[in-house]
Structure 1
Amino acid sequence: MLYRTMKKTGDELSVLGFGCMRLPRKGMGIDEERAVNQIRYAVDHGVNYLDTALMYPGSEQLLGRALADGYREKVKLATKLPHMLVTSREDMDRMLDLQLKTLKTDHIDYYLIHSLTSGEGWGKMKSLGVADFLDAAKADGRIVNAGFSAHCAVGTFKEIVDDYDWDFCQIQYNYLDEMNQAGTEGLMYAASKGLGVVVMEPLRGGYLAGNPPAPVQAVWDEADVKRTPAEWALRWIWNHPEVTVVLSGMNEEQHIEENIRIASEACPNSLTEKELEIVDRAAEAYRETNRVGCTGCRYCMPCPAGVNIPGCFEAYNTDGGTLQSKVMYQLRVGGKMDGATPAYASLCKNCGKCVKVCPQHLPIPQHLSEVAKEYETFGARLIGGITVYALRLMRWNTMRKA
């Protein structure tokens, strides 16, 4: 296992982190015996960064059990404060104390504000006193390092980076998202400020693993060294020295073994120019198979009508049409995650401004109408409403336990 240093803390962290959102399932819940065995196997083979969240049903409870028998002392534990459930300064302390109890520990090594998707979400947390909360929790030892995870545009991301003395951050990053969300620009910015960077969604929820479209596989077949699509994706991220840890939501024993092997070999700046060019071509081949060839460059933004154009297309392209993609659309584009102003595709006024500046020369209004037709149906909006209700129910249940 290779390790990299978290800049502000000096911690030597495994380049591979175990993401505990997608633990193996059995019936309606987590397959506890299998999940515990998987986590302990990974730790025994060098993984020392484990990531969970209150919002991942059953994950913190499972991890509390998995880290018994001396395993807690072998790892750095990361979990998150769900800002979408917070309505007061007191909520923050109550949730953290509940998490400590659930995880059966007296401190969280890496504590994050969970999934900031807009400036509104961060603004709400600031107004409720999150800076005071983090300072106090660090001072009394309940948390060691403070960070945030983000799915927001790079401009907002930079503002959040500059707005508190963070130790680290967590971003979605892979070779299809170089210009999407924080992207490469955000990665470099956070690193320049001394923050450690944890990467989530290196495989875009599995989209970049498995069996790729034929045009993509044809590109991989041209490489001198044969690798799986997952290995190409992971090695591309680890090639960036600015990245500290890459999280993988591992739930298959074979995948855990493969990822540990790759994480023992993938050094910074180890890909050749030819290999980097192959990854670039694979990314282009993926985009050509997407329903919309958007790169996430954001030249089309801001939209005069308030549409989150890249966000609409990201949801539309990622496993397009699935229940998960529609939920993400409602949460992020619809502002249901953090109370942001809705930025739906249907808000488009067909002004044409975006078409004039799009480097890909995409008929953006036409594609937005396609997104609205599929993602803003009664059923899709019902999913959004159910999601909001589920969040409220989760808050009630969390506060009851706390």
Structure 2
Amino acid sequence: MKYRINPKNHDKLSILGFGCMRFSKDEKEVEKQIIYAIENGVNYFDTAYIYPNSEATLGRVLANGYRNRVKIATKMPLYLIKKYEDFDKILFEQLKRLQTDYIDYYFMHMLTDTHNWSRLVDIGVIRWIEEKKKSGQIINIGFSYHGGREDFIQVVDVYDWEFCMIQYNFLDENNQAGKTGLQYAAANGLPVMVMEPLRGGKLVTKLPKEVYHVWETAYVKRSPAEWAFRWIWNHPEVTLVLSGMNSQAMVEENIRVASKAEANSFTEEDYQLFSRVRKILDDKIKVPCTACNYCIPCPQGVDIPTCFSCYNDRELEGKWISKGKYIMQTSLKAKASNASLCNKCGKCEKHCPQKIAIREELVNVSKALEGFSYKPVRFLIKRFMKL
């Protein structure tokens, strides 16, 4: 197993983290996988309050003499926080589930923008964090993020974080926080944990057949999953990559790859290989947006790059998943940024290096991702998050 050093506290972390969101229903099999991972060098396990039975399952396994060999990461569901007492209520339940008296890496889960953080500040989150760090119940505090690049940079700057987590893979190099966000966080001394390296497996099972042909004809034989992981680990700014492993074969294969992958190890042939893959994917996307961000800020607040990113993802993710991501990334913030807010002023098009007909494409985004179901789905999600 390869390791990278957390620049904040000098923890030695395995470059492969065990993502616990997709545990198998067979708890004996899960226990076998967790123990095998630990015995073979994995020392970072990521769960969350809202992952069904995940914290309790992980806690039961680690209680059998493994707790001190690993770092536990879990997350505070921000939408459940309505008053100061809610912080303790949730944390104490998590500690009980995990059968531990401290959390190594504690996330503010899905912190979407600085407005959301300001709401927590008004409730007293900074005082609470200081109390829990002083008591030793929280060792490191950070945030996980889904959203656009500019909001990410603002969130990084709004507090003295100790780590962060972003979605990052070869398809999302210019989406969400993207490479710019990754480099910005790393330049500010933050360890960066990466989630969704395979987009929930879709970078293994849902790519165009031409991409699989590229992998098959590569100079070295590697599975699509191995290529995807190695692409992320080639970035020295990445501290570790989470994998939602739910089979013994997957655990063994990922550990094998994580025992060989190095930062800055790609050859010119490797880069050319991914250039071919990107060209295939670029030829299939609907809007040739590179997320350069020259088109924003929009006077109406539309997050144009994020709207186009979600629109382009429909081909890979499917209608309902892409619509859910679109709502989460544009409509669940304090100030919405969805495509239908566009009033067709045209300011954005004057600055677009790709000469995209942005106003026309935003209409297409609105038709594809908003439509008749958009408002009721958004209402239900917002209602759920206020419960």
Flag whether TM exceeds 0.5 (same fold). Answer: yes
1:14·1:245 contact (CA, 8 Å) conserved in 2? yes
Could you tell me how far apart the structure 1 residues matched to 2:231 and 2:302 are? 31
1:120-131 to 2 correspondence within 5 Å?
120-131=115-126
Q: Distance in 2 between matches of 1:205 and 1:292?
A: 23
Q: CA deviation at 1:42?
A: 1.8
Deviation, structure 1 residue 53: 0.9
Structure 1 316/34 Cα, relative in aligned 2: closer, same or farther at 3 Å? farther
Cα distance in structure 1, aligned partners of 2:172 and 2:48: 23
Q: Which segment drifts farther, 373-382 or 263-272? A: 373-382
Work out whether residues 114 and 158 of structure 2, in 8 Å CA contact, stay in contact via their aligned partners in 1. no
Question: Which residue in 1 is equivalent to 2:250?
Answer: 255
- Superposed, 1:3-402 pairs within 5 Å as 3-24=3-24, 30-318=25-313, 319-335=316-332, 339-393=333-387
Residues 320 and 263 of structure 1, relative CA distance in 2, 3 Å threshold = closer
Q: How much identity, in percent, do the aligned residues show?
A: 50
In the superposition, relative to structure 1, how do residues 323 and 58 fare at CA in structure 2: closer, same or farther (>3 Å)?
Answer: farther
**Scaled by the length of structure 2, what TM-score is found?**
0.93
3-state SS of 1:382 partner: helix
Cα deviation for residue 367 of structure 1 reads 2.5
Q: In 2, distance between residues paired with 1:96 and 1:352?
A: 48
- Give the whole-Å Cα distance in 1 for the aligned partners of 2:212 and 2:350: 33
Q: Deviations over 1:303-339 (max 9, x none)?
A: 222212222222223335432222222222112xxx4
Task: Kindly tell me the number of residue pairs found equivalent between the two proteins.
Answer: 385
Unmatched runs of 5 consecutive residues or more in structure 2: none
User: Which segments of structure 1 move beyond 6 Å, counting only runs of 4 or more?
Assistant: none
Amino acid at match of 1:106: D
Q: 2-side partners of 1:155 and 1:377: how far apart?
A: 27
SS of structure 2 residue aligned to 1:212: coil
- How far residue 277 of structure 1 moved from its aligned partner, in angstroms, is 2.7
Q: What letter corresponds to residue 330 of structure 2 in structure 1?
A: V
Instruction: Name the stretch that deviates more: 373-382 or 44-53.
Output: 373-382
Q: Quote the Cα distance in structure 2 between the aligned partners of 1:212 and 1:262.
A: 21
Q: Over aligned residues, Cα RMSD in angstroms?
A: 2.0
Q: Deviations 1:360-381 (Å, cap 9, x if unpaired)?
A: 3333223222222232233333
Q: For 1:291 and 1:33, how far apart are their aligned partners in 2?
A: 45
- C-alpha separation in 2, matches of 1:322 and 1:61: 33
Partner Cα separation in structure 2 for residue 209 and residue 297 of structure 1:
27
Tell me the CA shift for residue 211 of structure 1: 5.0
Of the structure 1 ranges 170-179 and 379-388, higher mean CA displacement relative to structure 2 is found in: 379-388
The answer to whether the 8 Å contact 1:196/1:244 transfers is yes
Higher alpha-carbon deviation: 144-153 or 8-17: 144-153
CA distance in structure 2 between the aligned counterparts of 1:359 and 1:236, rounded to whole angstroms: 27
Maintained 8 Å contact 1:212/1:229: no
User: Unaligned stretches of 5+ in structure 1?
Assistant: 25-29, 394-402
Change (3 A) 1:66 1:283: farther
Judged with a 3 Å threshold, the aligned counterparts in structure 2 of structure 1 residues 38 and 313 are, in CA distance, closer, same or farther, namely: farther
Distance 2:299 2:168 in 1: 28
Q: State the TM-score, normalized to the length of structure 1.
A: 0.89
